[in-house]
């Protein structure tokens, strides 16, 4: 594997999950693989889980790790070609990328959608420039339109907790005060429509996602109906995708908060969320603290998804 930005990069999902579960059983079995190899993690945005789990994954593989927070202590980077750089950005990505690449063997990039220019976001201009100009294997730590390390960890978690061959997985929009990217729901939909699950998405009208990610999923606007018989409930907020409202918050309707009443419609479903989560906006204290909440093991599996991906990238060097 030479890059990891979307589900197609990982090949057959059953094999990827099998490899991940083997790694989980003995996470130091490949500690020779990363000897004298360096991972550079570049963050354009904040992170708790991705930063720690990816660093831990690389350390399990025997790698050295460097972390750069672009917005804290590094020069501000221009990402568009052709601009006259007379503003606050002191350096261009076109120099910064090959320079950074010269110090490492593998690069992880986190660069969220700006939510202002849909074309710019959906062309994935930042991570695509890393792929094009670094000459190194690049993986996404959440880019503008996808968060594949999260979706991979979500799939591993569903595999571990499911009690039937083809569980019903419901992804529900939930309210949040600020505009968030579509990357997590896009990516989750992209993985779930390829996995062996019955996948349903529910959201208020106006929150339709890009069809390239949701094709094959059932879209059910009736939230109560969507939750019926669910084995897993995956909550997430996202801002509007459709024009003319791209990147906007259309509703903060707390009728969509996941609470015990709506969870009663399900088949005693497990509750999932990628975190960070705003309690009593996305989900009530009661549901997230219930024995059916698996948000912590889900987050713990981020180490495993990252290790599987970095292992495959190391094997390609």
- Report the interface residues with ligand AN0, using CB under 6 A: 142, 147, 180-181, 183-184, 274, 276
CB closer to ligand CP out of 50 and 266 = 50
User: Could you count the other beta carbons within 10 Å of the beta carbon of residue 303?
Assistant: 22
Q: Which stretch binds ligand CP (CB under 6 A): 13-21, 22-30, 43-51, 249-257?
A: 43-51
Shortest CB 287 distance to ligand AN0, Å: 18
Tokens of 250: 């259309």
Contact 103, 40 (CB under 8 A): yes
Q: Is 191 exposed, middle or buried (0-12, 13-18, 19+ CB in 10 A)?
A: buried
Identify what 48 binds: ligand CP, ligand AN0, none; CB under 5 to 8 Å per kind.
Answer: ligand CP
- Establish if 107 lies at the interface with ligand CP (CB under 6 A): no
Size of the site for ligand CP (CB under 6 A): 9
Shortest CB 94 distance to ligand CP, Å: 27
Identify what 183 binds: ligand CP, ligand AN0, none; CB under 5 to 8 Å per kind.
Answer: ligand AN0
Q: Which stretch binds ligand CP (CB under 6 A): 15-23, 99-107, 197-205, 273-281?
A: 273-281
CB closer to ligand AN0 out of 3 and 49 = 49
> What secondary structure letter does DSSP report for 10?
G
- Establish if 275 lies at the interface with ligand CP (CB under 6 A): yes
Which of 150, 237, 293, 308 is the binder for ligand CP (CB under 6 A)?
Answer: 150
- Which letter, b or e, does each residue of 68-88 get, where b requires 16 or more Cβ atoms within 10 Å of its Cβ? bbbeeebeebbbeeeeeeeee
Shortest CB 122 distance to ligand AN0, Å: 15
CA distances from 305 to 60, 188, 193, 287 (A): 12, 14, 19, 26
Tokens of 130: 């890393």
Q: Which of 313, 297, 295 is nearest to 139 (CA)?
A: 313
Name the percent of the chain in helix, strand, coil, to the closest 5: 35, 15, 45
Q: Which stretch binds ligand CP (CB under 6 A): 79-87, 156-164, 233-241, 274-282?
A: 274-282
Shortest CB 132 distance to ligand AN0, Å: 24
Instruction: Determine the Cα–Cα distance for residues 61 and 240; give it in Å rounded to an integer.
Output: 39
Shortest CB 112 distance to ligand AN0, Å: 6
Alpha-helical runs (H) found in 5-92: 13-25, 49-60
CB closer to ligand CP out of 141 and 240 = 141
Instruction: Determine the Cα–Cα distance for residues 96 and 116; give it in Å rounded to an integer.
Output: 24
- Establish if 301 lies at the interface with ligand CP (CB under 6 A): no
Q: Is 173 exposed, middle or buried (0-12, 13-18, 19+ CB in 10 A)?
A: buried
- Establish if 50 lies at the interface with ligand CP (CB under 6 A): yes
Identify what 37 binds: ligand AN0, ligand CP, none; CB under 5 to 8 Å per kind.
Answer: none
CB closer to ligand AN0 out of 78 and 121 = 121
Residues making contact with ligand CP (CB under 6 A): 47-50, 142, 150, 274-276
């Amino acid at each position: 594997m030479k890059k990891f930005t979307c589900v197609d990069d990982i090949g057959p999902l059953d094999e990827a999950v099998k490899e991940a579960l083997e790694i989980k059983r003995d996470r130091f079995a490949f500690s020779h693989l990363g000897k004298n190899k360096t991972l550079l993690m570049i963050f354009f945005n904040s992170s708790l889980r991705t930063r720690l789990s990816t660093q831990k994954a690389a350390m399990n593989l025997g790698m050295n790790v460097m972390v750069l927070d672009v917005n804290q202590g590094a020069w501000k980077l221009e990402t568009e070609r052709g601009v006259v750089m007379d503003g606050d950005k002191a350096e261009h990505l076109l120099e910064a990328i090959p320079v950074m690449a010269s110090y490492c063997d593998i690069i992880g990039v986190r660069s969220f959608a700006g939510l202002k220019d849909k074309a710019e976001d959906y062309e994935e201009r930042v991570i695509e420039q890393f792929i094009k100009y670094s000459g190194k294997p690049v993986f996404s730590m959440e880019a503008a339109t996808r968060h594949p390390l999260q979706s991979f960890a979500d799939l591993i978690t569903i595999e571990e907790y499911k009690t039937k061959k083809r569980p019903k997985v419901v992804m529900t929009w939930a309210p949040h005060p600020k505009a968030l990217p579509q990357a997590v729901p896009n990516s989750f939909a992209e993985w779930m429509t390829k996995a062996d699950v019955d996948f349903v998405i529910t959201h208020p009208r106006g929150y339709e996602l890009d069809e390239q990610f949701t094709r094959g999923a059932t879209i059910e606007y009736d939230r109560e109906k969507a939750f019926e018989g669910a084995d897993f409930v995956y909550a997430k907020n996202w801002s509007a995708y459709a024009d003319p409202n791209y990147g906007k918050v259309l509703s903060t309707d707390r009728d969509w908060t996941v609470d015990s009443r709506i969870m009663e419609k399900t088949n005693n479903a497990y509750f999932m969320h990628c975190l960070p989560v705003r309690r009593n906006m996305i989900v009530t204290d009661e549901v997230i603290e219930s024995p059916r909440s698996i948000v912590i093991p889900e987050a713990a599996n981020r180490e495993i998804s990252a290790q599987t991906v970095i292992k495959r990238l190391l094997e390609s060097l």
